[in-house]
């Protein structure tokens, strides 16, 4: 067979194989980058939303109030989903501005690269979750009846079977899982602000944004934390209205910092 024909047949037989290899290598690279980024968090130091060089120079500070302390190990969450902002301020927050806010939050997390994926979703209802925790609650009544002191004494074989079932459940409970963290964003206060008014020495034209963040385990529907983060920007910083930072910049910094520091603490 001529060499030209052999070379012509070679790519056809290996194109699918090459695509598969490239896709697998890309996936492995993404996972390795994610692992490396989390390993670098060992020495992560949390940001101060008010007294920092960034806020003094550029503005856009933030303040955080934790309403419900975080539960569980945030290092087990490798995927993040952000809901579209729920406006509690009426028409003050338009859908266009809400989408811009969400896109900026998503970009901040993607730049930090502590999650394998960051996705925007329309909404999340914890009551619709049907994960392992809720299923275990449904089955708990049956388990309680089987273990009740009033239940009839089973045979030795029955007791061995129950012991094996308990061991399997404990192993599944201790096994680390690849969980999805969902953050529901509720806007409590919003003022766009005016850069022109910020030029005046009258403390006018402030940009204000206050959000309430509810953190959920997607599979179980359990709320694992809740915070209020407020951001503000005015003309008091060194660059003042010349800076592109606004109240959203502060909220985004605070949001990313709070999740990052808890992932870092879980990794240690």
Q: Which domains does the chain have, with CATH numbers?
A: 44-127+177-267 (3.40.50.10610), 130-174 (no CATH)
**pLDDT tens track for 78-136:** 999 999 999 999 888 898 989 989 999 999 999 988 999 999 999 999 988 865 544 44
Q: Which of 34-38, 46-50, 100-104 has the highest mean pLDDT?
A: 100-104
Model confidence, pTM: 0.69
Give the per-residue pLDDT at 7: 43
| Higher pLDDT pick, 41 / 8 | 41
Bridge partners (DSSP) of residue 64 are: 229
**pLDDT tens track for 219-263:** 999 999 999 999 988 777 677 666 677 788 889 999 999 999 998
Backbone angles phi, psi at 104, to 5 degrees: -70, -40
36 closest CA partner among 95, 113, 133, 120: 113
Q: What is the Cα–Cα distance from 147 to 142, expressed in whole angstroms?
A: 9
Q: What is the Cα–Cα distance from 245 to 112, expressed in whole angstroms?
A: 18
Q: What is the Cα–Cα distance from 253 to 259, expressed in whole angstroms?
A: 10
> Is the separation of the CB atoms in 199 and 240 below 8 Å?
yes
Which residue has 């209020």 as its token pair?
A: 228
The 3-state DSSP class for residue 130 equals coil
Sign of the C-alpha dihedral, residues 39, 45, 48, 52?
negative
Q: Which of 133-137, 147-151, 159-163, 212-216 has the highest mean pLDDT?
A: 212-216
> Is the separation of the CB atoms in 77 and 180 below 8 Å?
yes
> Is the separation of the CB atoms in 263 and 224 below 8 Å?
no
Burial code (b: 16+ CB inside 10 Å, e: under 16) for 97-116 equals bbeebbeebbebbeebebbb
236 closest CA partner among 193, 188, 204: 204
Bridge partners (DSSP) of residue 225 are: 215
Q: What is the Cα–Cα distance from 136 to 42, expressed in whole angstroms?
A: 34
The two tokens of residue 148 are 């009740």
């Amino acid at each position: 067979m001529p060499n030209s024909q052999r070379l012509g047949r070679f790519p056809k037989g290996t194109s699918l194989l090459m695509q598969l290899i490239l896709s697998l290598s890309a996936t492995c690279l993404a996972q390795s980058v994610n692992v490396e980024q989390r390993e670098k968090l060992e020495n992560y130091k949390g940001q101060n939303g008010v007294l920092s060089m960034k806020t003094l120079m550029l503005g856009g500070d933030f303040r955080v109030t934790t309403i419900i302390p975080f539960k569980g190990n945030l290092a087990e969450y490798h995927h993040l989903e952000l809901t579209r902002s729920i406006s509690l301020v009426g028409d003050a927050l338009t859908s266009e501005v809400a989408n811009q806010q969400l896109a900026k939050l998503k970009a901040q997390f993607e730049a930090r690269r502590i999650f394998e994926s960051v996705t925007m979703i329309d909404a999340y209802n914890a009551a619709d979750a049907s994960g392992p925790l809720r299923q275990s609650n449904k089955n708990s009544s049956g388990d309680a009846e089987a273990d009740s002191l009033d239940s009839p004494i089973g045979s030795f074989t029955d007791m061995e079977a129950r012991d094996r079932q308990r061991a399997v459940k404990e192993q599944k409970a201790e096994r680390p899982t690849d969980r999805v963290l969902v953050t529901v964003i509720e806007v409590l206060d919003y003022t766009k602000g005016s850069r022109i008014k910020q030029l005046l020495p009258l403390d006018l034209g402030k940009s204000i944004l206050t959000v309430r963040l509810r953190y959920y385990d997607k599979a179980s529907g359990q709320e694992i934390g809740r915070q209020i983060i407020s951001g503000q920007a005015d003309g008091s910083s060194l660059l003042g209205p010349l800076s592109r930072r606004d109240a959203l910049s502060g909220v985004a910094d605070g949001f990313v910092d709070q999740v990052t520091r808890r992932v870092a603490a879980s990794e240690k």
